[in-house]
Amino acid sequence: MIKTLKSLDYPNELIETLLKGRAAILGSHVLGPLLAIVLFKDIIPPVINIVFIVAQISLFFTRLIIANKALHILQKSDKQTIQKYLKYYLTAIFTNAFLLGVYSIYALYYADESHALLYMAILYALNAGAMSSLSSVFHALFIFSVTSLGILIIALCFVGDTINYFFIALITLVFSIVTLPAGFKIYKTLYNGIKQREEIEKLNLSLEEKIQTRTRELAQKTEQLEMLNRSLDKRVKEEIAKSRQNEQLLIQQSRQAAMGEMIGNIAHQWRQPLNALGLVLQNIYFTYQTNELSDEFMQKSVEKGKMLTTSMSKTIDDFRDFFKPNKQKEIFNISQTIQNTIALIDASYKNHDITLETNFNHDIETEGYPGEFSQVILNILSNAKDALKECKKSDRVVTITTTKEKESALITIEDNAGGIPEKILSKIFDPYFTTKEEGKGTGIGLYMSKMIIETNMDGRLSVKNSAQGARFMIRLALA
């Protein structure tokens, strides 16, 4: 990753995400500057306003042309050519940020304090938006934020003529310290996700060949075991250990196969705190405008901003913890573990207008591997979501229920997507069986889910069609 930051050697997917951010380009070069011109048309000399807006509009079309050209060659050219166009694009971003920063100097010089604060609010909003639109290529976010906010801070310290300006400069510095690490976390998550996905794709290409090779090896081992009865016990234990190791590898690969979808879930989880962070900044501005800004209010606002960024960081930690393999069995609460798993996919469900209903008995505990159990729940919920996405119904619902039945815990997950065709119902737990299009499914998710429940946790996983759709049932021994 350090090599990437030094050499602009970004994955094509991240570069493509940056180049396709047309709304961000429009806001940064047209909407934001136009709003500033409207605010300062009678305050800042017209020639400055005209030069500013003409320069920004020229940059707007320049960025569009560079983006279109770069997108066209992205999948065809070598790394050197792609990096050349990326440098052009970053130069345009720097020029945009530099113009915004210079305009802040004129705003502070010519305008009164209230009008100057309005322009700062515009600059804050543009930087908050840049955290989501430019973070895929961290150079872009760093150049935009450091240039625009750096010039603003200098202007506040040397052009501003009141103590309030110095205080706002400190707020701007804190804002930069908060947004840049958050943006870097977004970039790092996207970068690691793409690299892991590439590794998974490579593993999947050779997976069938490895399994065939392993099958032949096991056959040879069986013949050796028949010939060497005296060492039977030792050799059986060795094969069991190797089988368990391979099983754990498959489980981990199955988790990583969901990484692409998890990246989308992270984006959904971050929308609300990002909006809340914008509201915090607006509240600071309006409180200041009404002369009610106090140290206490400022402290509370800063703490709330830290709380929001901490929450966003926790989202990253939650997704990271999900992919950690379990080493030992432990007693865990089934309903709480399911609730934690729902938190990983809930935003994605809401984005597709799918309702998740739960009916939990919160006193049920079992012994096993909570991480692997979470993976089973996530696999079933992901399949239900895919089925409901293709369903034309308006009321798309998935219901999760946990109950006790004698000495067992029963977990049912039921959707209303119409069910699984009877001709393939008996095959859905077979390895490498999938109904999805080529490249969209590996066919190991439900196979590994059944292996986890029945082999690792001594339970039972089954499925049948109900009147509404597919109903998956998991039975586990109570702890």
Task: Return the pLDDT at 415.
Answer: 94
**Whole-angstrom distance, CA of residue 251 vs CA of residue 244:** 10
Tell me which of 48-62, 72-86, 198-212, 391-405 is least confident. Answer: 198-212
Task: Please answer whether residues 180 and 142 qualify as being in contact, where contact means their C-beta atoms are separated by less than 8 angstroms.
Answer: yes
**Is the pLDDT at 423 greater than 80, yes or no?**
yes
Token pair for 376: 């089973």
pLDDT bracket for residue 319 (50, 70, 90): low
| Tens-digit pLDDT profile for residues 199-217 | 887 777 777 777 778 778 8
378 versus 459: which is more confidently predicted? Answer: 459
Dihedral of the CA atoms 56, 57, 59, 65 (nearest 10)?
160
Q: DSSP of 394-451, one letter per residue?
A: SSEEEEEEEEEETTEEEEEEEE-S----HHHHTTTTSTT---SPTTS--S-HHHHHHH
Task: Please answer whether residues 126 and 32 qualify as being in contact, where contact means their C-beta atoms are separated by less than 8 angstroms.
Answer: yes
Task: Please answer whether residues 403 and 361 qualify as being in contact, where contact means their C-beta atoms are separated by less than 8 angstroms.
Answer: yes
Helices 46-73 and 12-19: crossing angle in degrees, nearest 10, is 140
Q: Tokens 């794709």 label which residue?
A: 201
Task: Return the pLDDT at 400.
Answer: 96
Q: DSSP of 82-127, one letter per residue?
A: HHHHHHHHHHHHHHHHHHHHHHHHHHHHHS-HHHHHHHHHHHHHHH
- 168 vs 44, 110, 175, 186, 293, CA distance in Å? 21, 18, 10, 27, 12
**Whole-angstrom distance, CA of residue 77 vs CA of residue 372:** 42
Overall average pLDDT of the 326-345 stretch: 85
Q: Tokens 């009147």 label which residue?
A: 467
| Tens-digit pLDDT profile for residues 233-243 | 677 677 777 76
**Is the pLDDT at 123 greater than 80, yes or no?**
no
Task: Return the pLDDT at 461.
Answer: 94
**Is the pLDDT at 411 greater than 90, yes or no?**
yes
Token pair for 97: 């940020």
Residues whose CB falls within 8 Å of the CB of residue 301, separated by 6 or more in sequence, listed in order: 280, 283, 284
Task: Please answer whether residues 441 and 431 qualify as being in contact, where contact means their C-beta atoms are separated by less than 8 angstroms.
Answer: no
Task: Return the pLDDT at 323.
Answer: 53
Task: Return the pLDDT at 188.
Answer: 82
**Whole-angstrom distance, CA of residue 244 vs CA of residue 197:** 24
Task: Please answer whether residues 296 and 219 qualify as being in contact, where contact means their C-beta atoms are separated by less than 8 angstroms.
Answer: no
**Whole-angstrom distance, CA of residue 281 vs CA of residue 174:** 12
Task: Return the pLDDT at 258.
Answer: 52
**Is the pLDDT at 334 greater than 90, yes or no?**
yes
**Is the pLDDT at 473 greater than 60, yes or no?**
yes
**Is the pLDDT at 162 greater than 70, yes or no?**
no
Task: Return the pLDDT at 308.
Answer: 67
Q: Give the other-Cβ count within 10 Å of 457's Cβ.
A: 21
| Tens-digit pLDDT profile for residues 20-62 | 878 778 888 888 888 888 888 888 889 998 998 999 899 889 8
| Tens-digit pLDDT profile for residues 168-179 | 778 777 877 777
Overall average pLDDT of the 144-155 stretch: 82
| Tens-digit pLDDT profile for residues 248-261 | 666 565 555 555 55
Name the nearest CA neighbour of 34 among 11, 57, 12: 57
State the pTM of this model.
Answer: 0.42
Whole-number percent of the chain with pLDDT over 70: 82
